[in-house]
Amino acid sequence: MQIGTGVRPVATERIHSQGNLSQTNNSKDVAIKGQGFFQVVLPDGTQAYTRDGSFQIDQNGQLVTASGFQVQPAITIPANALSITVAVMASSA
């Protein structure tokens, strides 16, 4: 038996499949139907991608993920904003 060796992941899995969509009544929640990712910046400055669209506004007015990662390109919500509108952008292949 070893003590103090800590815990580490054995494997990670990338899941690119479509999850269930549900109405949240949170104007900052966004879903991606089909393929695609949201681009975020990690605390060390590296770029990362996520399909988790459970967004919130941090203390600086920045749109961030539930984990606190800033959405890229950066989106700042003014403190006096009364509402948020998300436009649907369709990409052509």
Encode pLDDT of 39-88 as tens digits.
999 999 999 999 889 999 999 999 999 999 999 999 999 999 998 887 77
pLDDT tens profile 23-33:
888 888 888 88
CB atoms within 10 A of CB 63: 20
Q: List the chain domain ranges.
A: 27-69
pLDDT score for 33: 81
Distance between CA atoms of residues 36 and 34, nearest Å: 7
CB atoms within 10 A of CB 40: 20
Stated pTM of the model: 0.71
